[in-house]
Amino acid sequence: MSVTIATRPASRTLFVSSFTDGILDPAGEMLGPIQDGGTLVANTAPGCWGPMITPRLRGGHEVTQPVAVEGAEPGDAIALRIRDIMVTSIATASGHDRWVDGHYLGDPYVAARCPGCGTLYPETEVDGIGKEAIRCTACGTAVHPFEVIHGYTVVFDDARRVGVTVDQTAAERIAREAARYAALPENSVQHSVLTLAPHDLVGVPVRLRPFLGQLGTMPGVRLPDSHNAGDFGSALIDAAHEFALPAEKLELRTDGHMDIDAVRAGAIVVAPVRVPGGGVYLGDMHALQGDGEIAGHTLDVAGVVTLDVEVLKGRQLEGPVLFPVYEDLPPLARPLTGLERRRAEALARNWGLDGIEEAAPISVVGTGPDLNAATANGIRRAANLLGMSTAEVRNRATVTGAIEIGRHPGVIQVTFLAPLRSLDEAGLLPLVREQYGIG
Amino acid sequence: MSTIARSAVRVRLGHPLQAPAGRSLLELELDDGATARDLTEAIGRRAPHLELLLQLALVVAAGKILRPDEEIPRDEEVALLLPAAGG
């Protein structure tokens, strides 16, 4: 596989402010390299709606240019410790979408087309506000592969703790200065979704709980960024556009587009390495989101992220593994308290056992075309990772964990307390010890 | 004379297939070693009106999308799912 990594000396700290055009391309040039153990600081652009209304972007998102990590090779994993996530947008807008026939080829997320001149991925400019504002530079026709069928504009307080949805007057005032309110990074090329000024929900207060919708590594095959997951990626199989794939190539994905709300400050994501250097990328920051992202979109914002990278040599992974912060663990997957542990040990002794199993939380991500397929995928990955049968994973996730929905239609977490010996054999015990103080 | 063993395969239909099929689950008898293509063709023979959707559907088993020539794993529920794109 052709991968371009610069031969510069590795940086201890790397600031990332450049973006892809929506495509994750293993043959493209990576930034870096960054040292194993180094710190990456990224100013990220909003995902989803902004790129969706910017036809020149081809992947549905505008993620950061991937970064090579010194020493990372296929068959390794990279641990990504999220130190901080800071929302910089002052306002954003979002809503449930409808695809608009005639404005795309096969898939509006990856192949927008001008309905006037037929140009694929046309250059566009913003003329005014509202859904007709984005126009083809060549022929002047409004290009909108998507419409907001029910949407809202939200403003945030200075501390980025709460937001409130605003009325038409305020939404339109914000729309006229969309890039400023969105705090679009200098190198972002997307049109701000604020331009559309949706205002169907008014006066709704919301609580911010920011996380990254995209965090991961370069897939082993060229993919539109929003399709680097088993659900949306399945739309590429034998598709009508240039990013069509046979089913087996989708196995080279890395599932960086998770939309799991536990991917927030304090969490550790362990991502598979499919290409030399790994290619760490991130973006699609969400100010908040309920499990499932059932509207299809949530509050996409710009923001600054700080994370540390560490190469785990020889830790081959089928997909991402997550060690959430304690309060994001499902109740049954939280380690026993001291009192619970003493009671369980006494109970075990009364029934003739030598003691109780030593275990700690792990969350394995599964993706697939629907939630059932994603669950089967996550269970199979967990079984392979921890050397147990799928039946054992099902039992453990039932009695000491949960299946949690990241995104509808097909991203889930299989979270449970796994035996320390299994975590040790999988090479993950140091991360468990660091995150939960166990082992 | 050799005979080919046959097994029952349980097939879950994704949402867009359910209404035209009039059900969410199917059970089929297939030759052992049958492929994903054999499965969709067998369903197409039973329900010709589904043919267009079947051309778009992905055959999924044990959390993996099967290639058309890939054998259907034994003792696994199979799903026929229409792909979804999103952001």
- The answer to whether residue A281 sits within a structural domain is no
Q: Which CATH architecture has domain B6-81?
A: Roll (3.10)
pLDDT tens digits, B34-51: 999 999 999 999 999 999
Cis amide bond preceding A324, omega within 30: no
Is B37 an 8 Å CB contact of chain A? no
Domains held by chain A: number = 1
| Residues in B touching A365 (Cβ below 8 Å) | none
Closest CA to A32 of A7, A64, A2: A7
Residue A269 has φ and ψ, to the nearest 5°, of -105, 135
Choose among B62, B83, B87: nearest Cβ to A61: B87
Give the chain B residue nearest A50 (alpha carbons).
B87
Mean pLDDT of chain B: 90
Check pLDDT > 60 for residue B24. yes
CB atoms within 10 A of CB B58: 24
CB contacts < 8 A (A, B) = 87
Give the per-residue pLDDT at A2.
57
**Is beta strand A31-44 parallel, antiparallel or unpaired with respect to A67-69?**
parallel
Domain that residue A374 falls in = 326-436
Give the per-residue pLDDT at A421.
98
- The answer to whether residue A184 sits within a structural domain is no
Tell me the C-alpha distance between A108 and A112, whole Å: 5
The predicted model scores a pTM of 0.94
| Residues in B touching A251 (Cβ below 8 Å) | 64
- Cβ–Cβ below 8 Å for B63 and A366: yes
- The answer to whether residue A333 sits within a structural domain is yes
- The answer to whether residue A409 sits within a structural domain is yes
pLDDT tens digits, A199-231: 999 999 999 999 999 999 999 999 999 999 999
- Greatest CA separation for chain A: 81
Choose among A231, A378, A379: nearest Cβ to B84: A231
Our CA-based measurement puts residue B15 at a distance from the nearest CA of chain A, in whole angstroms, of: 10
List chain A residues with pLDDT less than 50: none
- The answer to whether residue A44 sits within a structural domain is no
Q: Is there a contact between A427 and A314 (Cβ–Cβ < 8 Å)?
A: yes
Closest CA to A23 of A271, A226, A318: A226
For residue B31, CA distances in Å to B34, B38, B67, B80 come to 5, 9, 18, 19
Our CA-based measurement puts residue A248 at a distance from the nearest CA of chain B, in whole angstroms, of: 7
Give the per-residue pLDDT at A6.
63
CB atoms within 10 A of CB A21: 17
Is B62 an 8 Å CB contact of chain A? yes
| Residues in A touching B12 (Cβ below 8 Å) | 372
Give the per-residue pLDDT at A68.
98
Our CA-based measurement puts residue B87 at a distance from the nearest CA of chain A, in whole angstroms, of: 5
Give the chain A residue nearest B80 (alpha carbons).
A369
User: A136-140: long-range contacts at Cβ-Cβ below 8 A with a sequence spacing of 24 or more?
Assistant: A138/A114, A139/A114, A140/A116
Our CA-based measurement puts residue A250 at a distance from the nearest CA of chain B, in whole angstroms, of: 9
Q: Which residue has the tokens 């200065």?
A: A177
Cα angle value A63/A284/A408 (rounded, 5°): 125
Q: Who has greater pLDDT, A190 or B15?
A: A190
ipTM rounded to 2 decimals: 0.82
For B22-28, what is the mean pLDDT? Answer: 92
- Cβ–Cβ below 8 Å for A226 and B87: yes
Give the per-residue pLDDT at A238.
83
- Cβ–Cβ below 8 Å for A226 and B65: no
| Residues in A touching B79 (Cβ below 8 Å) | 369-370, 372-373
Our CA-based measurement puts residue B41 at a distance from the nearest CA of chain A, in whole angstroms, of: 18
Is B10 an 8 Å CB contact of chain A? no
| Residues in A touching B14 (Cβ below 8 Å) | 369-370
Our CA-based measurement puts residue B18 at a distance from the nearest CA of chain A, in whole angstroms, of: 14
Q: Look up residue A64 and give its amino acid.
A: T
Give the per-residue pLDDT at B6.
86
pLDDT tens digits, A297-351: 999 999 999 999 999 999 999 999 999 999 999 999 999 999 999 999 999 999 9
SS (H, E, C) A344-384: HHHHHHHCCCCCCCCEEEEEEEEECCCHHHHHHHHHHHHHH
> pLDDT band for position B7 (50/70/90)?
confident
| Residues in B touching A51 (Cβ below 8 Å) | 87
